[in-house]
Amino acid sequence: MRAKTAVVVGAQWGDEGKGKIVDVLSERFSVVARYAGGHNAGHTVIIKGQKFILQLIPCGILRPDCQAVIGNGVVLDPIAFLKEVGKLRDLGVGVDEQVFVSNRAQVILPYHRMIELAAESAPGRQKIGTTSRGIGPAYEDKMARNGLRVVDLLNTNLLKTHIQNACHEKNTVAHALFGTEPLDPVQMYEEYARAAEQVAPFVTDTAALLNGAIRAGKSVMFEGAQGTMLDIDHGTYPFVTSSSATAGGAITGTGVGPTAIGTVIGVTKAYVTRVGEGPFPTECHNEAGEHLRARGHEFGAVTGRPRRCGWLDLPLLRYSNTINGTEWLVVTKLDVLDGLEEIPVCTGYEIDGKKVDTMPADVRGLESIKPVYTKVKGWTEPTENVSEWDNLPRQAQEYLRFLERESGAKIGMVSTGPDREQTMTLPQFAGALRELEA
């Protein structure tokens, strides 16, 4: 019998609208668990015109009966977490009853931000386009077995010793390499010891919590951060994030077994965007790109950075669906394409005049791609607010069916606006969701 669980993953370079989709779907789930990334990932949810920007806490928090879990694969900035908790409390959200933080999650400390900011701005260094929030260095310390976990944060003696030793090392390295001014370990310890007291009530063994929920027959959704093409293993390396952004990350990032995953839902925009540096085969450097950015309000939820925009890339989507084992697709921002006479869609790649069937592993190969476009007829009638498939313009339906045929996954939902209500669920997907609830 298939488990009542689903992984929701970004199918592109992040910013696909996962926050809204997780919020819409969370009505049907008892638990939503975040499994990767840190407070560099912003999920925007709009409910009846009110905007919520969540960075660490899963979008399920906006449903009163839903538990929101921060898994062990997340890197937690305690100060950022407490700020987010405070904002949600002010809005009347029940964070104290609903939020659970893994005792095995790694902690971001100020020296992680110091190192990342200095490295990213150092002359001669390859710029990745990070948010400089300490995510990468925190994962580096984790893999070097030199990190601080949440369970250690709560041990004041261990915390004090760790900060003293880490500051001695990081201050020396940062000053030698980048000329950075040293951080004060005493001040840091005092600040984070106070923060630890406030974080403590949220901390538990979330792997035990999640496995217990699954055994009890509860429905659990695993919420990804960023997107497949930013995955540390499968993305456009080195222009990637520092964690496992694909569906596989849900296993290692929460402590559930692979047989506990029922289905994978990929979220894709009706076009493509990217933030930061790195290859982007279908990027538009002309008026079309500006049109997509303006119509789609393409600016980062956390950083405010303008997103690079381009046409839908089907080879990329096929690759993403393969890597994730995607069964269902959710297509967002269809309404951004309203009014276009024709819509170019990348259906294949060429490198040096030769057709390419696989995604190149190296940046040079990715940068050499010449997209092969098919022009699809656009539509003049608006799709914004449309909530029934039969009410979509015929050409919009054909665009979506073309995407479905070419991508290898079934379309389950379509988003036609930013609000929770501006979403349509196709009948077959609705039936699959009922099975998850049953």
Catalytic residues: 15, 43
- What is the distance, to the nearest Å, from the Cα of residue 318 to the centroid of all Cα atoms in its chain? 19
Backbone angles phi, psi at 409, to 5 degrees: -130, 155
Closest listed residue to residue 206, CA positions, set 325, 88, 317, 67: 67
Inter-axis angle of helices 314-324 and 394-407, nearest 10: 50
363 by Cβ neighbours in 10 Å (0-12 / 13-18 / 19+) ranks as middle
All residues at 6 or more sequence positions from 204 whose CB lies less than 8 Å from its CB, including other chains: 100, 101, 102, 103
All residues at 6 or more sequence positions from 345 whose CB lies less than 8 Å from its CB, including other chains: 311, 312, 314, 373, 374, 375, 376, 402, 403
Quick one: CA dihedral 28, 33, 35, 38, positive or negative? positive
- The C-alpha atoms of residue 110 and residue 219 are separated, in whole angstroms, by 37
- The C-alpha atoms of residue 198 and residue 17 are separated, in whole angstroms, by 31
Beta carbons within 10 angstroms of residue 391's beta carbon: 14
Q: What is the widest separation between alpha-carbon atoms in the chain?
A: 66
- The C-alpha atoms of residue 397 and residue 30 are separated, in whole angstroms, by 33
- The C-alpha atoms of residue 402 and residue 407 are separated, in whole angstroms, by 8
Is the separation of the CB atoms in 174 and 114 below 8 Å?
Answer: yes
